[in-house]
Structure 1
Amino acid sequence: MLTCQIKRKPHPINILFLLATLLGFSFGLHAEEKIYKSHAITIHGEPKYPADFTHFDFVNPEAPKGGTLHLATISSSGFDSLNPFIVKGIAASGLTPLNNNYFYDTLLYHSKDEPFTMYGLLAEQMEWPENRAWIIFHLHKNIHFHDGHPLTAEDVVFSFNLLQKEGHPLYKTYYANVEHVEALDKWRVKFTFTPGDNRELAMIIGQFAVLPKHYWSQHTFNKTSLTPPIGSGPYTISQVDAGRSITYQRDPNYWGKDLPVNRGKYNFNTIRYDYYRDPTVAIEALKAGEYDFRSENSAKNWATQYQGKLFTNQAMIKKTLPNLSRAGLQGFIYNIRRPVFADTKVRQALSYAYDFEWANKNLFYNSYQRTDSFFENSEMAASGLPSPAELKILEPFKKELPEAMFTQAFELPKTDGSGNNRQQLRQALRLLKEAGYALKEGKLINQQTNQPFSFEILLAQPEMERIVLPFQENLKKLGIEMTIRQVDAQQYIKRLRSFDFDMFVGSFGQSQSPGNEQRDFWHSSQADITGSRNYIGIKNPVIDQLVDKIITAPSREALINYCRALDRVLLWNHYVIPQFHINQYRLAYWNKFGQPEVTPKYSFTLDTWWEDPKKAEKIKSFRKKAN
C-alpha cells in the first residue's frame, strides 16, 4: 500500500498572513500537497506486493544456491566490449540491466507479473508528489560495489550525468524530461522533471545502472574495453575470452542477496556465455552437452532438430510456455530517408510481394501468426474500425491522415498459400503506376528519373535469407531488383546506427506499458540522431503529438486508446511490412534444473531457476556413458 502524508509548505510572513485573514485578503498561499512514500511505484493503481512482502510469487524462496548455468550467444563477430552503455562496439552478453541484473544494480526492479510496477532495489523507499513532478530515492545504507566501496547518492548523480553526456543517445532521449538531479545527502537523491504530466518518468528513471564514480573518474568511459569494470550486482566477471566467452561468478558478499526482490533469484554459482557464429552449430553443441539451455526462434529448427533419444529418455527437455507478453513488431523495415521509399503508395505496393501464407506453410510449419500491429499480443493493438474513444483522439488530425483510416479496418494483403499470388502482384503494380512507375522490358522504371527500381536489404543472420529469398522472387516479378547484403554483426550494427541501409529485417519491442521509449522509435526529433531507434526516419507531426499523449497518459484506459491511435497511424503509413509472431516460448534444455511452480505472467526468466543436484548428477552420468 502507498502511504500518503500532507506537507504544508511554511509561509514566512505569518503576521501578514494573519492580517490578510482578518481583512479578507488572499496572498495566493500554497495549496496542501500530497506526498507519497512507498517501497514501490506503479504507473496506475497500486502495487501487487505490500511493503512487508518477502518474495515474489514466481520464485522459490528456498531455491538452493550452486551449480552452473552454461548459455550460448549467436554472433558472427563475437564481442569487443564490456561497456554496454555506449554507442561503440558490441557488448558481451549478460551486462545490460534491462535484460537482467547480473552485474549492475539499478534503483528499481520491474516486477515480472505486473504490467508496470517498480519495486525498490538500490532504493529502499521512494517519495513523490501527486503530480510526479519529482521523485526522491532513499538508498539502502549498506550498499557497496564489488570492490567494497560504498554506493551513495553521489554515484547515482554521477552515473546519470555520465550516461547523458557520454552514453548511448538512447539515454538522452529516454530521460529527456529530467530537468535536474541532485544528491540531497549521502543516501537521498532527487530527480526533478520538466513541467508536464509524464507519469512514467518517475518510474523509468529507476532503470539505469548505477556506476561507481571512484572507478570511472579514473577511466575513459566512451571507448570499448575488455577490462572488467566494477559493478554492484549479484555477479562479478571472473573470466573473459575475447570475442568467445564471458563468465560470471556469484558474489558471496553481494549486498542485496536477502532483499525481497532478490530472494529466490540468482541461484547459480557460475554463469557462462559461449559465442557461436552459426545457429546450426550451436544446436549441435547444445545436444553434445556443451551448454545447458536454448530458447529457439526458428520454426524449422524447432520442428526438426529437437528429437531423438536425448528427448525421448528425458535427458533433454523440449517445452513450450505461453507468452502473454507483448510481441511488438518484426518486419521488413524501410528507411524512408531513401527517395525510393518516400512514397506511401510504393511502400504499400511492396507489401503485396510478401506472401506470409505461403511462407508459413512451406517454411514455418504453420507455427506463426501474421503480425498486424506495432503492439501485437497486447491490449494496445488496434483492430477493426476506430472506437469512439480513438476517433476522439484522431479526428483533430483528420486532414493529415488517410481518409480510409476512418472508414476501413486496416488489413494486410492475404493469399491462399499456394504460391500463386498474381492477384496481389497486380494490385502492387497498380499502386506503383499511381506512384509514377512503369514496367518496361521487365524492369520497373521511374518515369520522372528514368531510373530502374532497385534497393538493397541488409542482413546479419544467414538464416534470414530463406525468409527474404521468396520476397525477392516476387519483387522480380514486379520488375524490382532487390539485392541481399549479408554483413557481420559489427558492420550491421554500425550501419543501422548511422542509417546506412535501404531496408533491413528488424523488430520494435514493446513493454506492457508503452511510454518514453516511443519517442526514440517514432518522434521527429530522433530521425537524424545517430544511434537512435527511429530507423525508419519518421518525421510526422501527428505521430509526434500521439507519442507525447502516450507519455502523458493520465490513466491506463487513456494509454490504451492513445497506443491504438498511434498503431493505426503507423500502420496506415506503411512504414514496415509486418512479418509474423508466436505467442509461445520454445525452450530446449538439459534436464538438470529446478523451476518455480509459478511462471511470471509477463516474462520468462532463467534468473529464478536453479541446479537440482540429483538431476545434475544423473545428467553428468548420462553424458559420461554417451561419450
Structure 2
Amino acid sequence: MPTLPRRDFLALGAAATAAALLPVRAFAAIPTGVKMHGLSAFGDLKYKPDFAHFDYVNVDAPQGGTFNFSPPNWGYNQNTETFNTLNSFTPKGDAPPRMAMCFDSLMARALDEPDAVYGLIADGVTISDDRKSFEFSLRPEARFHDGTPLTAEDAAFTFKLFKEKGHPDLSLSLTHLEDAVAVDPRTLRLSFSGKHSVRTILNVAEFPILSKAFYSANPFDSSQLNPPLGCGAYKVGRWSAGSWIEYERVADYWGKDLPVNRGQNNFERIRIEFYQDRTAGFEAFKKGEILYREEFTSRVWATAYDFPAFTAGKVVKHEFPTETVPSMQATAVNQRREQFRDARVRQAIALCFDFEWTRRNFFYGSYERSQSCFEKSDYRAEGMPSPEELALLEPLRDKLPPETFGEAVTQPASDGSGRDRKMLGKAAKLLAEAGWKRSGDFAVNEKGGRLSAEFLVDDDTFVKVYSPWIANMRAVGIDATIRLVDPAQYQLRQSSFDFDLISVAFSFSATPTRDDLEIFFHSSTATVSGSRNLPGISSPAIDVLIDAVGAAKDRESLTVAMRALDRALRARRDWIPSWFLANHRSAYWDMFGFPEQKPDFGFPVEALWWFDKGKAAKIGKA
C-alpha cells in the first residue's frame, strides 16, 4: 500500500537505538497546543469539527430486531468456538467476540479514512509542544451502565492496568507510556518517554475504557464470568458459557447521539452462538438460527447453497469488496524450535505446499496465492528494490538475506500435479544443504535425529486441506504430522508458542504504526506470550526497518519503509504466505438493510446494518 523524498533514513543503519528516537519528530502536520477534534497520522482529516455523522452510515436506520451472526473476525483473547471468561482484555482464557462493543474509547475510528480518529469519550485532544504528551478533554455526560460518571481517573486507571496486565495487543502499545494522570475529573494526560512512535496514539485512543471501581473489586487478571461494567452501546445480556451470548443495546446509552455513533448500533440484540464444527454452524444458518455468516469454505460456497431457504429467495449470497488494508494469511514456522532456525529448512517446507493443486481440488478455483505479509495493499514489495528502498536496506546488507536485494521473493507456482517433482527435488536439496541427510524414509541430522514438523489445527477442514502438504513433506524426508486440538487448547498453545507450524490470518491498519508491526515481527515480542510474533522473529535488521515505519513523516515514506520491510520479511521466510480472497463471501437471511456504499477500511456488519421489518415479513421472519 511513490518515492521517498527524504535521505535522512540512511542514518537508520547505524543502530536500532538511534532509530528508536526518531519517531517523535513525526506527526508534524498536527499542531501542538491546540485542541483537536480528531487525529490522523499525517494531519489529513475528512470531517470538520461540526460534522453530524460519518458519510457511510444511514442516520435514518430503524432500530430493533436481533442480529444472530457468526463473527468473521475477532481480537485479543477472543475465540469463536467457545468461551470461558467475559474479560476480553487479559491474556488469560477464551472470551466471546464483540465484548469491545460494551466499552467506549477516547476516540473512534472513521472507516472511510485510512487512519483518522474522532472524539468519543473525549471531545478533543491537545498535543504538547514536545509531542510526548496528549491531553484529552472528557465529555461530562460520559457514563457507565450503572449510571456512575466516567472520569479521567477511570481512564488513567485503565491505561496503567493495560500496561501492566493487559493482553499484548494492548500492553505493547503502552511500552513507552510513562504516566497516565487524571489532571482533573475531566482531563486525562498520557505522557510517553520519547522513544515511542507518536502515531502510537492512534492505537491507544481506541482502547476500551474500564471502570476503576469494578476492577478494584473484581481481579482483572483472573478468568471470570462476571459481566464487566461497561460504558458502550451494548452490555452483556443472557449467556451460556461456551454455547451462546447476547449483547443488549443500552436504551439510555449516553453516547448514542454523538456524531461518531449516529446511524450505528441499530440492533436491539446481538447474539453469537458457538460451534466447534463448521458443518454444525452451517446447518444452523440453513435453519435460520444464524442470520449472517461469511463463508470461508470454498466447497460450501460453490456447492452447498441449494437448501430450501436459498432456493426460495429467503437467503442471499453476496460478495462485498474487501477492505483496502494490508492483510496476511500465512503459516508460521516456529524458530523457537531448533530444527527450523535454518531458512533453507523453512523454504523446503514452503516448497512442499502445492497451492495450484489445492486451489483446484479444495478451493473450486477461488482464492489467489498470497506472496506478501501485506497483501492487498500498496505496501506489497514488487520487482527490484527502488533506490528509496535501497537507502533503507543497504546499511543492513550484512544482517539480511541476499535475496532481499534482488527481485521480491515469491512462492513458485507448481505444475498443479500435487507432487511437483521439480519443487520437491529442490526442497530435498535444501534440506541436504542445511545438514539433513536422507536415511531411509527420513531426513536426519548428524546425531541421527529426525527432522519432524507437526501442524497444529483446530478444525477438521484444515486437516483435509493440509494433508497433501504433509504428504509432500514426508516425501522429502520430513517426519510431518497434523495435530487437531480443541479450541481452548489451540488458543493456549498458540499463545504459549507450543507448536511447530500454525496457520493464521491477520489484518493490519491501513496506516500501520510501529506498534502494529512490533507485535508481529519485532525482536522484543519474540518471547512475549500472546504476541502475534508466532515464528519467533528476532532480527536487529527487521527491528530497524520497523523503526523506519514509525519514523515516516508522510505517506510516501511510509509506503517505502513498508515495502522494504516486506521485502526483508519475505527473504527471511519466517512466514509461508498461503492465499487470499478479494471479496467478503457473505450470506444472510434477506431481512436486513445496509448502506449502499461500503466503507473502504472496515466492515462491521453488526454495527452498520439494521433490521428491516418489511423484508422480514416477506420471508416469515417478522
User: Do the two structures share a fold, i.e. TM-score over 0.5?
Assistant: yes
Computed over aligned residues only, the root mean square deviation of the Cα atoms, in angstroms, reads: 1.7
Alpha-carbon distance between aligned partners in 2 of 1:94 and 1:620, rounded to the nearest angstrom: 28
Letter in 2 for 1:614: G
Aligned to 2:85: 81
Alpha-carbon distance between aligned partners in 1 of 2:326 and 2:305, rounded to the nearest angstrom: 24
Does 2:415 correspond to 1:411? no
Pairwise CA distance, 1:371: 0.6
Partner of 2:102, secondary structure, is coil
Pairwise CA distance, 1:418: 2.7
Letter in 2 for 1:512: A
Runs of 4+ in 1 over 4 A off after TM superposition: 73-77
Alpha-carbon distance between aligned partners in 1 of 2:573 and 2:466, rounded to the nearest angstrom: 18
Aligned to 2:147: 148
Pairwise CA distance, 1:143: 0.7
Partner of 1:53, secondary structure, is coil
Partner of 2:126, secondary structure, is strand
Does 2:426 correspond to 1:423? no
Aligned to 1:138: 137
Task: Tell me: CA distance 1:396–1:621, structure 2 relative to 1, closer, same or farther (3 Å).
Answer: closer
Alpha-carbon distance between aligned partners in 2 of 1:467 and 1:326, rounded to the nearest angstrom: 26
Deviates more, 1:264-273 or 1:67-76: 67-76
Aligned to 1:193: 192
Alpha-carbon distance between aligned partners in 2 of 1:290 and 1:536, rounded to the nearest angstrom: 39
Q: Deviations over 1:283-328 (max 9, x none)?
A: 1111111121111112111111223442343211100011133352
Q: Deviations over 1:338-387 (max 9, x none)?
A: 11101011111111101001111111011111111101001111111101
Aligned to 1:582: 581
Letter in 2 for 1:495: R
Residues 550-569 of structure 1 mapped to structure 2, 5 A cutoff: 550-569=549-568
Pairwise CA distance, 1:488: 0.8
Contact 1:131 1:197 in 2 (8 A): no
Contact 2:69 2:290 in 1 (8 A): yes
Q: Which runs of 5+ in 2 are unaligned?
A: 1-30, 73-78
- Aligned pair count reads 584
Q: Deviations over 1:518-542 (max 9, x none)?
A: 1111111111122222221111110
Alpha-carbon distance between aligned partners in 2 of 1:284 and 1:588, rounded to the nearest angstrom: 13
Partner of 2:184, secondary structure, is coil
Partner of 1:38, secondary structure, is coil
Contact 2:135 2:190 in 1 (8 A): yes
Aligned to 2:373: 374
Task: Tell me: CA distance 1:240–1:178, structure 2 relative to 1, closer, same or farther (3 Å).
Answer: same
One of 477, 492, 495 as aligned partner of 1:479: 477
Q: Deviations over 1:165-217 (max 9, x none)?
A: 22223433121121221111111101111124723122222111111112111
Alpha-carbon distance between aligned partners in 1 of 2:368 and 2:80, rounded to the nearest angstrom: 29
Aligned to 1:345: 344
Contact 2:180 2:191 in 1 (8 A): yes
One of 90, 94, 97 as aligned partner of 1:93: 97
Aligned to 1:27: none
Task: Tell me: CA distance 1:405–1:201, structure 2 relative to 1, closer, same or farther (3 Å).
Answer: closer
Letter in 1 for 2:86: L
Letter in 2 for 1:541: P
Does 2:450 correspond to 1:452? yes
Residues 194-343 of structure 1 mapped to structure 2, 5 A cutoff: 194-196=193-195, 198-343=197-342
Alpha-carbon distance between aligned partners in 2 of 1:543 and 1:203, rounded to the nearest angstrom: 23
Deviates more, 1:301-310 or 1:226-235: 301-310
Alpha-carbon distance between aligned partners in 2 of 1:34 and 1:585, rounded to the nearest angstrom: 41
Letter in 1 for 2:218: H
Contact 1:134 1:202 in 2 (8 A): no
Pairwise CA distance, 1:567: 0.7
Pairwise CA distance, 1:621: 5.9
Deviates more, 1:126-135 or 1:85-94: 126-135
Alpha-carbon distance between aligned partners in 1 of 2:506 and 2:495, rounded to the nearest angstrom: 15
Task: Tell me: CA distance 1:131–1:393, structure 2 relative to 1, closer, same or farther (3 Å).
Answer: farther
Letter in 2 for 1:409: A
Aligned to 2:499: 501
TM-score w.r.t. the length of structure 2 is 0.91
Letter in 1 for 2:199: E
Partner of 2:615, secondary structure, is helix
Partner of 2:69, secondary structure, is strand
Does 2:37 correspond to 1:39? yes
Alpha-carbon distance between aligned partners in 1 of 2:63 and 2:390, rounded to the nearest angstrom: 54
Contact 1:296 1:302 in 2 (8 A): yes
Contact 1:299 1:365 in 2 (8 A): yes
Partner of 2:58, secondary structure, is coil
Contact 1:41 1:118 in 2 (8 A): yes
Letter in 2 for 1:488: D
Partner of 1:405, secondary structure, is helix
Q: Which runs of 5+ in 1 are unaligned?
A: 1-32, 623-627
Letter in 1 for 2:467: L
Aligned to 1:611: 611
Aligned to 2:26: none
One of 47, 51, 54 as aligned partner of 1:53: 51
Letter in 1 for 2:340: F
Aligned to 1:491: 489
Letter in 2 for 1:457: F
Aligned to 2:539: 540
Task: Tell me: CA distance 1:546–1:266, structure 2 relative to 1, closer, same or farther (3 Å).
Answer: same
Pairwise CA distance, 1:420: 4.0
Letter in 2 for 1:583: A
Partner of 2:585, secondary structure, is strand
Task: Tell me: CA distance 1:94–1:405, structure 2 relative to 1, closer, same or farther (3 Å).
Answer: closer
Pairwise CA distance, 1:59: 0.6
Aligned to 1:395: 394
Alpha-carbon distance between aligned partners in 2 of 1:142 and 1:276, rounded to the nearest angstrom: 40
Task: Tell me: CA distance 1:125–1:486, structure 2 relative to 1, closer, same or farther (3 Å).
Answer: same
Aligned to 2:17: none
Alpha-carbon distance between aligned partners in 2 of 1:324 and 1:228, rounded to the nearest angstrom: 32
Q: Deviations over 1:453-491 (max 9, x none)?
A: 112111112211122101011111101111111111111
Contact 2:286 2:307 in 1 (8 A): no
Task: Tell me: CA distance 1:34–1:582, structure 2 relative to 1, closer, same or farther (3 Å).
Answer: same
Alpha-carbon distance between aligned partners in 1 of 2:133 and 2:241, rounded to the nearest angstrom: 42
Aligned to 2:594: 595
Partner of 1:91, secondary structure, is coil
Contact 2:157 2:180 in 1 (8 A): no
Partner of 1:127, secondary structure, is strand
Alpha-carbon distance between aligned partners in 2 of 1:177 and 1:320, rounded to the nearest angstrom: 42
Partner of 1:276, secondary structure, is coil
Deviates more, 1:364-373 or 1:417-426: 417-426
